[in-house]
Every structure is written in C-alpha cells, then in structure tokens.
Amino acid sequence: MALATLLLPPALLVVAAALSWAAGLARPPVGRQVVAAAAWLALAALAGAWLAAARGSSEFAPGLTTGVIPVRLRVDAVTVLFQVAVLLPAALLLTFQRRSSSEATRAALATAAALGCLDGGSLLWTAIGLGVCTSLLLIHLYREEPRVSTQFWVVQTVAWLLLVWTAVLLESAGGTSVYGAIPVTALRLPAFAVMTVAALLCSGLLPWRSWVSEAWTRRRLEAGTLAIALIVPLGLYPLVRAYGMGAGQWPSIQTNVVVAAVGTAVALGAAVRAQGAATRRRYLAEAVPLASGLALLALGLGTPLGLVAALTAILALSIVAGLAPLVPPGRGAVAVVAIAVAAGAPPAVVFAGWLLAIQAAVEAGIITAFFGLVGAAAWLLGLAAAARAIWLPDTSSGDGPGAGRGYVGSLVASAAAITAGVALTAVVGLLAIPAAAEVMPTSAVHPQSGGVSQAAILGAGSMGVSTASGGWSAVLLAGPLVLIALITVTAAHLARRRAARISVLEEVPASNVAPPQPPPEPFFAPPLATIPHDAARRLRALRLPEQYRSLFRPALMERAAVWGGPWLWAAATVALTIAVTR
C-alpha cells in the first residue's frame, strides 16, 4: 500500500500524458480532459492509499540503479503533504486552464516529474528530480511561447547544482544523503547554507521580484503558473527535510533567525509590490511570494508549532498557486471571493495557515516575535492591496486572447480553500502534524525540541487550535461565517436580478448610471523597487576603462593564440616548464 502511495500518482500522470499525446495525434481534443482526470485521480489515490495505510514511514530500495545512484524511494507524512501541495494546484490548473493536447502532455509529464522528485529517499534523488522537472518545464514554457525565460533557467540550474553539491557534501561528511540514514552531525553549517541558498533560489524566495513574479509577465499564463505550482513547494521541501536530518533542528539557532528574517523580507517585499501594482495581473503575481514568504517565516522558527504552521502554510501556498491564475476578470462576487481568499481573508485555510505562522512567531522568542509582527503587517498590507486590486484593470499589455479564466475554476478553488479552512483541524491533524512529527521527533539528543504533539496544538475534541498565544475554533467561527456569507451572497444575487428586471422595464436613463471609477492610487510607491533593475543595468554596462581595455581583450588573445600558433605553443610550453621545474 505504501508503494502504491508512491508510484500510483506519477504513474497515472505518465499514462495520461501518453494518452493525451495519442489524442493529439488522432485529432480529438480530449487530451486536456484526460490529463485533468488523471490529476484528480492521482490526488484521490494518494489520499486513499495514505489513509488506508498505517501512515508510518517506509523506504524501498529495489536494487536498481539509474542515473548515478541506486533507486531509493521513501514515503512518509512529509512526502504525502508535499505531494498534496503539488497535486492540488496542478489538478486545478490542468482542469480549468485551456491547453491543447500536446501542452497537456508536457504539463502532465512535468507534474509526474515533480511527484517523482518527492518520492526520492535521498537529497541526491531530490536534486536529480528537480533537474528533470525543470527541464520539462523549460520545454513546456518554450513551446508555449518561443522566448526563453532566462531568469528561470539560470536560477533553477543554479538551484539544482547547489542541491547536488549539498548532497555531495553530506555524503562526504556522513557517507550518505539518504534521509533516513544521514547521521545527525553530518548536516553542518556549510552544507546547510548551500542547501538554503538552493531552496531560496528554487522557490523564488527573494525580497525583490523573482522568477515567480516574472512568470506573470508572459502573454499566456498556463505554463508559467504551472511552473510556480510545481517548483515553489519543491524548493521548500529540502528545508523541511533538514529538520529530519538534524533530529528536529537545524545546525544552529542563527540559521533559524536568518531564514525567518528572509521569509519576513520576502513577504514584506511581495506585499509592498502588490499594493503598488498597476494591474490586477501584477497584483496576483505577488500572491505566491507573499504566501511563500510567510511559510518560510514559520519554517525558520524551529519550534514544533512553527513547523506545523509552516506545513499548513505550504498547503495554503498551494491553494494560492492554484487559485491566483484562475481569478476571473471583472468585479463579480466570484472574483472578489477569490482575491480575498488568496489575500488571506478568513475563514479560508490561507488565513488559518498565516495566523498559525504569526502565532508561532510570537511564541518562539523576542526576535521572532518581531518578525511575526512584520509578517502580520505584510499580511495586512496584502489585504489592503487585495481590496485595491478588485478595482484594478484586469488586463496587462501582454494578456493574450483566450485567457480561459472562467468562473468555475475560481469557484472550485475558493470553495476548497474555505472548506479546508473550516475543517482546519482535520487538515492540521491528518497532514501537518504527522509531517511535522516525522521530521521533529521527540528526541533524547535534543530534548529542547520537544517533538510535535497533537495536544500541544489542537484543542480538546479537535474543534479548534489551541496554542500558548491563544486559541480559536475553526469550525465554530468559520462555519457560521461561511453560512452568513452564503446567505448574504444569495440575497444580493436575488436583489440584483430583481433590480435588473426593474431597470429593463423602466428604462433607466443612461445619465443615472454611475460613471466608471478610476482605480485607487497605491498607498505608496514601492521603495527600492528600481534597485534590482538599476543594478542589472549597471552590471551590463560595466566596462573596463578605455585606457586599460587594450590590456585585456579575450578575442584578441584568442586570435593571437590561433594565428601565432607555433610560437605561442612553444612559449606556453616553456613557461609552464620553467614554472614546474623551479
């Protein structure tokens, strides 16, 4: 059953990719539907297999070697949580975005590669899987629009190379990079630093505009947003596993503070850019960075509650990644709800995850409490930006035809987020807490870590969250809220219909129609916004001063090497001989 948990989801997607490709050749345009069905089936299979199994961790070593390492698979609560975090937005996007059969094929393969990456039982496998996923996404991006996303390519290449190097460092220090077998002392500061840089680059967790926001500047959003949905959770995965490698903690407390600070900066930067967005698309481009920044903040706390909050926030991040591209145009109820959910309005799981993160930050210590406050400020700024975004024009200059953003996808995603928010304790109890307990066990080696327990986070009867900084009942608060909201929306809808019928009968004069309002101005111009662009421009313009240029001209040197041939050969040989024989 555990093996089924591992293999069934990617296998379903690979089969669907093959069927979609065949459908593309045979002309019936059913490829997208096949792939979408497979994605939902994979999610159901994953959930079903995990719930039916003992829900412990299992490793499989079939004795095969592919690539340069033996195949080693691992299934545990962390694997399942991250696979849900990848599959859920992927399923939403594959279902509700318009794709041709060939595009659906590539998307399915990329999703399968992402799942395969998470199946691996070692950091090296994760790195290789990330590399494969990146290659497939690159092809997918280029096929959609023949313009290479240089930033994405460079950043992801650096990320997977650094991850490979981290695995190599772990193997040098501890003899292995297998998650279940790494000695506690193997993950030292240098290796952790390299891994953290890889994770930050991979997920686009930078205080300035990263590849995640740049993906929204493409003419079509299908490939770029899928890349975000797949890659961003993958980038955070090694940081979660790092807790397991260190028996519940990272190499030093300073690393926790640094990572939490970076997360806060990322969230704040995203919020500042979001409130200054000129179009709704530019606002939505900052939704995932805001969510991932708050998740990183929680991840860096190093406490059981922090880890649970981070994992919940990662699930929230996946919802945002799936919802943001599906936000419909206009200012209808569905669009408003979708934007509100993505911005962290209650009672959705996004709200719950972020609230837990802030609570965990406040409880973790003085410095982290400060980070928590800044995170809360970023959240509030994000909410304000969301309110403004409702009034922003929907199109940017690059919004192509057939954007394919209907209402159904957004409605489904919002409903899923709200349902998960209402059933927060189930989500936390079934996914987040077991995953946190997997990597943060109660350990005699590090007794201060304490381990993760259900009782420390969930209240009696699992009706709500109960932590040291305060408790709140998701069901009892969110349930009635949702009910009231539904009643309100229904009433408003009925009233509007009645008003529309009356206006048609009475022929309301055009002069009574309210003129369109201009969108509200940003609260402030994002400070330092032009710095990355200016820095890149200055770097590109860097030249040696004119008077020194003749000293170093690689092209001339090479021409001299080629034409000067024999003399340079002899000179180089003699020079090296003298250097060696001294």
Q: Which residues contribute to the site for another protein (CB under 8 A)?
A: 65-68, 124, 128, 131-132, 134-135, 138-139, 142-143, 146, 148, 153-154, 157-158, 160-162, 164-165, 168-169, 171-172, 554-555, 558, 561-563, 565-566, 568-570, 572-573, 576-577, 580-581
Torsions phi, psi of 130, nearest 5? -65, -40
Specify the residue, 116 or 344, whose C-beta has the smaller distance to another protein. 116
Least CB distance to another protein at residue 103 (A):
12
Beta carbons of 87 and 47 less than 8 angstroms apart: no
Q: How far is it, in rounded angstroms, from Cα 271 to Cα 285?
A: 11
Specify the residue, 162 or 392, whose C-beta has the smaller distance to another protein. 162
Beta carbons of 305 and 356 less than 8 angstroms apart: yes
Least CB distance to another protein at residue 182 (A):
16
Least CB distance to another protein at residue 287 (A):
28
Q: How far is CA 261 from CA 139, 157, 452, 513, in A?
A: 35, 25, 23, 50
DSSP 3-state assignment of 522?
coil
Supply the DSSP string of 236-254, one letter for each residue: HHHHHHHHHHTTSS-S-HH
Least CB distance to another protein at residue 38 (A):
22
Q: How far is it, in rounded angstroms, from Cα 267 to Cα 570?
A: 59
Dihedral of alpha carbons 276, 280, 283, 285, sign: negative
- β-pairing, 73-75 with 58-60? antiparallel
Least CB distance to another protein at residue 249 (A):
24
Specify the residue, 26 or 572, whose C-beta has the smaller distance to another protein. 572
Least CB distance to another protein at residue 231 (A):
14
Specify the residue, 508 or 571, whose C-beta has the smaller distance to another protein. 571
Specify the residue, 252 or 573, whose C-beta has the smaller distance to another protein. 573
Q: How far is it, in rounded angstroms, from Cα 292 to Cα 288?
A: 6
Specify the residue, 126 or 449, whose C-beta has the smaller distance to another protein. 126
Specify the residue, 132 or 433, whose C-beta has the smaller distance to another protein. 132
Specify the residue, 34 or 159, whose C-beta has the smaller distance to another protein. 159
Long-range contact set of residues 184-190: C-beta below 8 Å, sequence gap at least 24: 184/245, 184/246, 184/247, 184/445, 186/245, 187/242, 187/245, 187/246, 187/250, 187/251, 188/251, 189/251, 189/252, 189/255
Furthest CA-CA distance within the chain: 103
Least CB distance to another protein at residue 229 (A):
20
Specify the residue, 82 or 125, whose C-beta has the smaller distance to another protein. 125
Q: How far is it, in rounded angstroms, from Cα 242 to Cα 254?
A: 15
DSSP secondary structure code for residue 325 in this structure = G
Least CB distance to another protein at residue 87 (A):
22
Supply the DSSP string of 91-119, one letter for each residue: HHHHHHS---HHHHHHHHHHHHHHHHHHH
Least CB distance to another protein at residue 555 (A):
7
Supply the DSSP string of 421-438, one letter for each residue: HHTHHHHIIIIIHHHHHH
Q: Give strand pairing partners of 520.
A: none
Specify the residue, 40 or 142, whose C-beta has the smaller distance to another protein. 142
Least CB distance to another protein at residue 576 (A):
6
